[in-house]
Structure 1
Amino acid sequence: MSCHRLLGLVALDLALGVATLEQGQFWHITDHHFDPTYWSEMRSCNDKVPVRGIYGDYWCDSPWRLVNDSVAAMANVKRDVDFILWTGDNVAHIKNQFLNQSLNLEITEKITDALKAEFPGVPVYGIMGNHDWFPANQFPVQQAFLYNATAELWRDWIGDNQQIENFKKGGFYTIRTTKGLRIVGLNTVFYYAADKLTTNLTDPAGQFAWLEEVLQNATNVGEKVMLTAHVPPGIKVPGKVQWFYERFNTKFLDLVQKYADIIPGMYFGHDHADGLKLLLKKDGTPGIPMFIAPSVTPWRYKSGTESDDPHNPAVRLVKYDQKTGEALDFIQYYMNLTESNEANASSWKVAYDASKAYQVKDLSAASVSMAVKQMSKDKYVLDKYIRFNTVLANGNTTVNECDATCRAEYICSFTHHEGEKFNSCVTGLMKGVLIG
């Protein structure tokens, strides 16, 4: 072998080594909804006859055993991650009369301690969910006990005193990773239609102005920004629910769309279901992928005769580029709740590998756009997405029950995030008879 070729191979090996070092991993976890009354009053259970298993029930929020087991399972799979995104809703679906500020804080503290015990030295970028406040959903726009107490609880992770003050002002902050990636934790509960304290406001706690300043500063210095929050914008399907107030939905989407070139991804919870969406740029080209992680809690919504489909507990491991923040892949782990309860032992399995499931090389905006187009054209690929939506809890049942209108709604929700545009998309697809 010639000296030049040998040097070339060495250079190639070094280049590959550098590329490998730039690939990191992080966990995305959300919606634990720990119910301390699961073994007593069962206050989160919304069915009269739940089957009370040791890891929970599809009609109830999480017993501690499920919450703790999910954290231990994460550590067993991958403990040495770069960080953890924790997108809130730690407190169960329990009526306000049975909760208070101190109890809510204790629940968040208990999960915080579990994460610190299993992941020593790993930074956790947490954000509050709508159920973490007392009373639920009603986030104020000035300093309050739960802002202050949670900021101090997470001081080791947030670090910077200025960001601690931002959190105390409204539950939002920003931090830079050691690799130069900027993380922005937002309080999107301000924009949630259930928060009656922000109904008549234009910029609750000044978060929009703050976010634009952060994004503009990042643009000026060449930083990439990963956004994380609890409540997602856009339209949730099935159900056709828009969580945000209309004006906040539009304002948020317009703002992040303006800075799409520096935002490689946005990460949300709240839906309890597995979701993938794409925010397009003004010119219609791929903009920002939106990753909505499924919940740890198996709790199902129920009102009268209507209810959500059952879904399994889940945690997500994301592979990403440490410098650009671009998602390269993620592996969705889940617990088959029925099997684990019957065996009296948990079994966390891989539900799917995103890049393989959607046949894309990574999870960049361009690749997610390709995946969305595949789901729009190929019934088989869309069927997989619908199964993943409930974390494999229903086999083919949900897919078989999804008619042409249901499929049109799924397809339109991928890229149409405002009510009027979403409805027009669904109408157009139905008239075209392109799916079914």
Structure 2
Amino acid sequence: MAAVRGWQGTLLILFIVGASKANEGFFWHITDHHYDTTYWSEMRSCNDEVPVRGIYGDYWCDSPWRLVNDSINAMADIKKNVDFIMWTGDTVAHIKDKYLNESFNLEIMKVVTDALKAAFPGVKVYATMGNHDWYPSDQFPVISHSLYNATADLWEDWIGDAEQMANFRKGAFYTIKTPQGLRIIALNTNLYYTSDKLTTDLTDPAGQFAWLEKVLKKAKGDGEKVLISAHIPPGVHVPGNVQWLAKNFNTRFIDLLRQYTDIIAAMYFGHDHADGFKLLHKNGRTPGVPMFMAPSITPWRYKIPGKSGDSHNPAIRLVKYNRDSGMPLDIHQYYMDLTESNKNNASNWTIAYKTSEAFGLSDLSADSLNGVIKKMETDKSLLDKYIMYNTVLANGETTVNGCNQKCRAIFLCGFTHMEKPSFDSCVDSRVGAAAEICSSPIAFIALALLYLLM
């Protein structure tokens, strides 16, 4: 076709650009509110002594209502006109089961559900349950249950379809199409969690794997693009080096997803309480599907004998995406500086970063993430930036400076190694290679010259 010149060509270019922009939309991804109703009384979620209670919470505790409500209001203030909200669970606090019951958990989810509906009237919320939303915590059953039924009723305005309501009542999973035509598959990966004692000896809890394969096969046949959401992600959580899903379930889940990388645009998870992404490779080890773990709203940090988690700030995430393909284009990560907000008695939700600017990416496709992961292998400053964002800017340079060669290997291997044995082998290989290089005579001479030049 002959090139179009003059004003007609300019109009054509403007039309194409305009059409492309028209296909861009936004949605919020929020996760892990962990609302603690006892923050101002018994403080049952707190993992350490809190001499002074901040009005927005404390790094050792789950969220008081003021933080939960403020985060929702901040979302509406920043961008109210969104296509939908993705909410990936864990609304109930880290409180011992003896202080909880089904009614209490349901009431916690109800008040947050109501707050979201009030702040975003008419906006669909694609919600999934977290492991702490269940009672007893983590113990999701594979049969019909009153808590499945009650939660389905709570979210009926968002799920709507009778068939999908029935799926939720069976196991808290469902699928639905957005008004823009993308297929959302909302999963209950809590069924595969290593802490769920009810599913340990099963091969397909609640039939979710068979159902997922059926939905993906139909979506492919219908030419649909898919977004997958769930609370607990597959793969290895870093820097904790924990595979959340039981080995057999993690492997089966990953294998199934790899069969449909051509239609899955992206996957969104919570649970980690940290900011991160992964890249699921196709079977041929080429870029497949981007995975995003949103940081939590709660600032709660774990504490176990001899070890505690890093401090991290409360966070909310705005995702820019292509409405036609589902491809994620950018992440606008917002956070509250908890220390400053408590000090000033006023919240300060501000932008932490945009991926387009922070990592120099035009989009967040699998190919783009693959490129930035490869750059991080040689560009220390780029990986440092990722590590800084992992705790939502709570620890500043401390986190980066405390990350040694093995720590960096853990982050790098965590991007693409989805099973623990492969991940461990990758870490050992990287650490061994680094040690070999540093111990060589050439490396010693280079370091000596560098020292002399400093």
Contact 1:360 1:370 in 2 (8 A): no
Structure 1 alignment gaps of length 5 or more = none
- CA apart distance, 1:6: 2.4
Map residues 33-432 of structure 1 onto 2, 5 A cutoff: 33-432=34-433
Deviation at 1:14, TM superposition (A): 2.0
What is the total number of aligned residue pairs between the two structures? 434
Over residues 111-165 of structure 1, what are the superposed CA-to-partner deviations in whole Å (9 max), with x where a residue is unaligned?
A: 0011011101100000000000000000000111111111111111111000000
Letter in 2 for 1:39: W
| Stretch moving more, 5-14 or 390-399 | 5-14
TM-score, normalization by structure 1: 0.98
Find the aligned partners of 1:95 and 1:4 in 2 and give their Cα distance: 71
Match of 2:441 in 1: none
Contact 2:34 2:63 in 1 (8 A): yes
Counterpart secondary structure, 1:349? strand
Question: What is the percent sequence identity of the aligned residues?
Answer: 62
Distance 1:39 1:351 in 2: 29
Structure 1 position 356, deviation (Å): 1.5
Amino acid at match of 1:262: I
Q: Secondary structure at the match of 1:242?
A: coil
Between the aligned partners of 1:151 and 1:325, the Cα distance in structure 2 is 26
1:5 maps to what in 2?
A: 6
1:327 maps to a residue whose letter is: P
Cα distance, 1:284 vs structure 2: 1.0
Deviation at 1:13, TM superposition (A): 2.1
Other structure's SS at 1:180 match: coil
Partner SS, residue 284 of structure 1: coil
Q: 2:449 aligns to what? A: none
Equivalent pair of 2:139/2:196 in contact (CA under 8 Å): yes
Distance 2:51 2:254 in 1: 40
TM-fit CA distance, 1:7: 2.6
> Mean Cα displacement is larger for which, 46-55 or 394-403?
46-55
Aligned counterparts of 2:381 and 2:276: Cα–Cα separation in 1: 17
CA shift, 1:12, in A, is: 2.2
Tell me the distance in 1 between the aligned counterparts of 2:40 and 2:385. Answer: 35
1:30 paired residue number: 31
On the 8 A contact 1:193/1:245 being kept in 2, the answer is: yes
- List gaps (5 residues or longer) in structure 2: 439-454
* RMSD over equivalenced CA pairs, Å: 1.2
Instruction: Indicate conservation of the 8 Å contact 1:183/1:227, yes or no.
Output: yes
CA contact (8 A) 2:50 2:58 kept: no
Q: What amino acid is aligned across from residue 327 of structure 2 in structure 1? A: E
Q: Aligned partner of 1:410: which letter?
A: F
Contact 1:332–1:352 (8 Å) recurs in 2: yes
Report the 3-state secondary structure (helix = DSSP H, G, I; strand = E; otherwise coil) of the residue aligned with 2:262.
helix
Distance in 2 separating the partners of 1:19 and 1:49: 51
Give per-residue Cα distances to partners, 1:198-255, cap 9 Å, x unaligned. 0000000000000000000010010000000000111111111110000101000000
Q: Tell me the distance in 1 between the aligned counterparts of 2:35 and 2:66.
A: 10
Q: Partner letter of residue 38 of structure 1?
A: Y
Structure 2 CA distance, aligned partners of 1:39 and 1:430?
Answer: 46
Deviation, 1:50, is: 5.0
Query: Hey, what's the Cα distance between the residues in 1 that align with 2:361 and 2:170?
Result: 41
Answer whether contact 1:128 1:187 (CA < 8 A) is retained.
yes
- 1:329 corresponds to which letter in structure 2? D
Distance in 1 between residues matched to 2:213 and 2:14, nearest whole Å = 41
Please state how far the C-alpha of 1:304 moved relative to its aligned partner.
Answer: 2.1
8 Å CA contact 2:277–2:290 kept in 1: the answer is yes
Q: Secondary structure at the match of 1:433?
A: helix
- Aligned-pair CA distance for 1:51: 3.4
Contact in 1 for aligned 2:316/2:334 (Cα 8 Å):
yes
Instruction: State the one-letter code of the partner of 2:24.
Output: Q
**Is the contact between residue 50 and residue 60 of structure 1 (CA under 8 Å) also seen in structure 2?**
no
Measured after TM superposition, the shift of residue 4 of structure 1 is 6.2
Contact 1:50 1:59 in 2 (8 A): no
